[in-house]
Chains A and B, each alone.
Chain A
Amino acid sequence: MDLFSPDEHDLIVELMNLGVGRAAHALSQLVNDEVLLSVPRLEFISVPEAQEAFRKDLPPFLAGVLQDFEGFINGRAALLFPEARSLELVNAMIGEELSADEITELEQETLAELGNILLNHCLATLANQLKQQVQTDIPRAFSSSSSELPGTLSLYEDDSNNTLVMLVQIDFSLRHSALRGYLAFVIDLQSADSFLHALREYLAEIL
């Protein structure tokens, strides 16, 4: 999707890296250990492309955290992991070594908070840098199959003209483990205009 110029795209990548870096700092302080996060790839895609990408690139079962947001952009953000590895992330974060087959309710909450910290920092950094406002709802942990994911994210075919998906790869690197997840921002296109406007103002100011 060529909604954004290369300069605008680069700016978004830069802002996401900044947000993810701040999230990594917050997580490191929280767990008293070094947590490194990086963003190897970021792309804007349409709903059908997103559905295709989820089907092709994601493992069949996913665990994740959902959070709605509204303000200069509106929509729903999600952090997605292969389900089998989400417990590993939680355990690495809380310094436990468990082999429990199922994620318990406490771990579900911990995962929700990890996603919460990450998504809040990304959205807040985008908004603050662009001198805009954004408000987030509370996070919800979920698990679903990759075929159910579009429904979970409120991605609907018939609404595809009004929706834009920002798909961000994110690499976690902890002392004893490393894993790759995805951030998906499902943005209401009507609000994408104000996003674009804010990006252009920002670029005009620095150029």
Chain B
Amino acid sequence: MLKSSDQPVTCLSEILDNIDCTDLLHSLDGGVLLLDRRCRIIFCNRWMIKHIGLQEDEILGNTLAQLYPGQLAPALQDAIENACLNRMGRLLSYQLHKRLLPLKQRNPNGELRPLHQSILIRPLSQSNLTLVQCHDITNAVKREQHLRANERILRLERKVLELIATGDNMDEVLIEICTTVENLIPNTSCAVLLMNEDGKSLSVKSAPSLPHHFKQRQKGLQFGPTGTSCIQAIRHRSLVISPDLQNDEHWQPLLDEARQLDIGACWAQPVIAAYDEVLGVLACYPKSPSTPSEANKLLLQRMSNLTAISLERHKRIERIRFLAMHDPLTGLPNRSLLNELLGRNLRRAHREDNKFALMFIDLDGFKEINDCHGHDAGDDILSVLSGRMSQQLRGTDTCARIGGDEFVVMLETIATVETAEAVAQKILSCLNAPVQRGQLQLQVSASIGIAIYPDHGISADALLTHADDAMYKAKAAGKNCWQRADQSSSTD
């Protein structure tokens, strides 16, 4: 059939002979210019005419410098002259020259966007002419930006996961997350807001690029009937976008502040942990009104996941720390924490020349309650009595549970020995009051031994031993009383 294919060479040359070279150049999807030795444009293809935006006769005969007075990149100007006059071929790449020709094109939405380009300048060897080719690399730039953005996110995710794996540095991780969002979504500020323990308000946890007063002001952002974007995000458990704060009714009371902070919009992504628990909000505040792109939304989602991992990890470590230092039944400090606090108080009392008191408390009759009413009853008694004892103390004092029914109370400073004795008396009374459990009334009493720093010792061991001995003296003296370490005393 295709007999002509037997002689392709002849055919091709025949075809080429009949082709109008100008037509060919006009049909190319890319810019072509031909320049003479004085850099003047003697040909401009259709693509180039369209993107320059002038009539062909306005272009021909001019140099590019004349078409774009004061707008032509010096490197491009040099390269064109060097090619036209000195016959040196040149490539101008996008990465080294972000702005070459001020060409524009319309995107699918009809908006004019700058056209990213690279330019090849080739002196033609058979003539004095120079060929300028302009490649539209907008799509390649987009792909590259996408690749880089993804790589940055991946690198951050890896960094955060490493931070999480190696230690507890939540603040650092949250700053890193905010900074990444700000880097990848230009002209924004980012903050992490956490749900307060009351479950009804939010506090700013991290906002590296917002002024300090923002952290203060947002402390306790209440859940009103409407609420700002962040509170709505928590309520809806999904991204809430407020594209223009000026025209958002929920933001009207906060507009002055928004103006001060230079924020024009708010995109709030809830931070949701395992089992659907809402921990807080990752908030991105663009400087001017805008909505997030799909890529922005994906970034916020990924960053909020990392935030959740970091927060959960932090909570778990805090919990482990708490459990290691506290008695799980009563929530009181355990022996380890008591030793730490006692050591600290010893150093301080020594430095400041203070007195302080240590009381060893052992319940009387506790074993019988356990035996008659079971361990649950015993546990309840311990919980209730722990609460009562703590109420008798100042915030700076310590009540620790160091054994089954053994407690140690440390009064951080005392003016006189009598102060300690008065507290011991109050503790005796509160422990001796009956505990209602269903229909039952359970009652115990306590024996208390008091040791005073520095009167009875200046070391933790000496003080604890003296207090313990005094407690046994109280037991021997008939229980439900207190004894000082060096002298006998009864308060019955």
Contacts and interface: CB of A to CB of B under 8 A. Distances in A.
Interface of A: 30-31, 67, 70-71, 90, 93-94, 96, 98-100, 104-107, 109-110, 112-114, 116, 120, 123-124, 133-139
Given A106-B141, A120-B88, A90 B155 contact: no
A113 B96 contact: yes
B147 A104 contact: yes
B86 A124 contact: yes
B151 interface: yes
B89 A93 contact: no
A99 B90 CA distance: 28
B91 A135 contact: no
Contacts of B151: 98-100
Interface of B: 75, 82, 86-96, 118, 120-123, 125, 137, 140-141, 143-144, 147-148, 151, 155
B75 A30 contact: yes
Given A113-B91, A138-B121, A138-B122, A106 B140 contact: yes
Of listed B91, B140, B141, residue having the most chain A CB within 10 A: B91
Nearest to A136: B89
Given A67-B89, A99-B151, A99-B155, A106 B95 contact: yes
Contacts of B82: 120
B230 to A, nearest CB: 33
B428 to A, nearest CB: 69
A100 B82 CA distance: 35
A137 B151 CA distance: 36
B97 to A, nearest CB: 8
B116 to A, nearest CB: 9
Nearest to B86: A124
A90 B121 CA distance: 21
Nearest to A128: B86
A110 B125 CA distance: 25
A63 B118 CA distance: 21
Given A100-B147, A135-B123, A116 B90 contact: yes
Contact of B93 (A98, A99, A109, A137): A109
Contacts, number: 80
Contact of B91 (A90, A104, A116): A116
A134 B95 CA distance: 28
Nearest to A140: B91
Given A104-B144, A105-B140, A135-B125, A30 B96 contact: yes
Contacts of A120: 82, 88-90
A136 B88 contact: yes
B93 A112 contact: yes
Of all A-B residue pairs in the complex, the 5 with the closest CB atoms, nearest first, are: A135-B87, A109-B93, A138-B89, A113-B93, A110-B95
A120 B141 CA distance: 27
Given A30-B75, A106-B94, A107-B95, A133 B140 contact: no
A106 B96 contact: no
Contacts of B95: 90, 94, 106-107, 109-110
20 contacts: A105-B140, A106-B93, A106-B94, A106-B95, A109-B93, A109-B95, A110-B93, A110-B96, A112-B91, A113-B91, A113-B96, A116-B89, A120-B82, A120-B88, A134-B87, A136-B123, A137-B89, A137-B125, A138-B89, A138-B91
Given A104-B140, A133-B87, 13 more contacts: A30-B96, A90-B95, A96-B148, A98-B148, A99-B155, A100-B151, A123-B88, A124-B86, A134-B87, A135-B87, A136-B87, A136-B88, A139-B89
Contacts of A96: 148
B122 A109 contact: no
Contacts of A31: 96
A135 B88 contact: yes
Contacts of B75: 30
Contacts of A70: 125
A106 B137 contact: yes
B403 to A, nearest CB: 57
A93 B120 contact: no
Contacts of A139: 89, 91
A4 B369 CA distance: 111
Contacts of A112: 91, 93
A90 B93 CA distance: 12
